[in-house]
Amino acid sequence: MPTPPPFPAPFGSLRVARLGSATLRRLARAPEEAGHVHSVFDRAINVLWSDGRLLTLHGPAPLAAPFALSLTNLPPRGLLVSGLSIRRADFDLGTAEGVALEMPRGPLAFAADALPDPPAARALRSGVGLGARQALERSMAAGDRVAFARAAWNLTGLGEGLTPAGDDCVLGALAAIHRLAPEWLSSDPSLPRRLADAARSRTTDVARDFLLEALDGRFAEPVRALLTAPSLGLAEQAARELLAMGATSGADTLCGIRLACHALETRVVSR
């Protein structure tokens, strides 16, 4: 007997507007029963995929995570509930636009100090947070990978929320490193391993996947747009989009970007 068609999902088809190439590959190699809803929020839905990592679904907007899919319409809240099964066939990729989320190496076209410098979250202004931030900056300026891993470990999981402030700061630093000096990470495999261990053991599921993607050089659209902006004006525009993300996540990520850019510039000048 022919196999009956799958029962239609109660939320209809999830029509994808934008996604990154790595996310497209994850969709392509998943089994048909691909995952289930992990968590639901007003403007985003997290799906735990078959590979053990998250997919974030949100409405039409720049991709807010390197593992996000922008949908033409996010289903009304209540249709996608925690635990609900998601199939690969539930996604309609017919008109989806592929988006580059990998951070290319290159110089900044503007002075990092000219970027906005909003107050960081309370956790980053605490004694522990301030000390770890200073240690992170000193380690990059000195080229000390062991000290960098220690400082990043202390920042990972520091703060509250889906992406704690310390994780956002480390994420911003990794974005700047991938833009300005990616060989600093790749030349010593033990450094990415230690950072990945911290991401897997010390923080939330969402922050873990942001950090693991960052170690592979992939970032949310506003982060990539900021560091690759061809002018200060466009960088400031991207910074405004970044600052609109989350309560303090954008500001904390920008804190890490500024910190790392300054440290790497200091290192180059001192040579």
The pLDDT, as a whole number, for residue 159 is: 96
Question: How far apart (Å, rounded) are the C-alpha atoms in residues 241 and 266?
Answer: 28
Spell out the residues 6+ positions from residue 256 whose beta carbon is closer than 8 angstroms to its own: 136, 168, 169, 170, 171, 172, 173, 174, 175, 176
Distance CA 53, CA 55 (A): 7
Domain assignments of the chain as residue spans, ordered by start: 14-99, 112-270
Taking the C-alpha atoms of residue 36 and residue 129, their distance in angstroms, rounded to an integer, is 35
Contacts of 243 (CB under 8 A, 6+ apart): 116, 118, 250, 251, 254
The stretches in the chain having pLDDT less than 50 are 1-5, 269-271
Output the six-digit token pair for 62. Answer: 């720049």
Judge whether 163 and 251 are in contact, CB under 8 Å: no
Would you state the structure tokens that stand for residue 153, as one six-digit string?
């470990």
pTM: 0.93
Residues 86, 75: contact at Cβ < 8 Å? no
Q: How high is the pLDDT of residue 150?
A: 97
* Residue 265, pLDDT score: 87
Q: Is the dihedral of CA 256, 177, 244, 13 positive or negative?
A: negative
- AA letter at 214: A
Evaluated on CA atoms 179, 181, 187, 190, the torsion sign reads negative
pLDDT at 76: 87
Residue 142: Cβ within 10 Å count:
14
pLDDT, residue 268, reads 52
CATH of 14-99, one of 2.40.50, 3.40.1800, 1.10.10, 3.30.565: 2.40.50
- Tens of pLDDT along 69-95? 999 999 988 888 999 999 999 999 999
- pLDDT for 10 equals 62
Report how far residue 229's alpha carbon sits from residue 67's, in angstroms, rounded to the nearest whole number.
Answer: 22
54 DSSP β-pair partners = 48
Counting every residue, how long is the chain?
Answer: 271
pLDDT (0 to 100) of residue 267: 65
pLDDT, position 236: 95
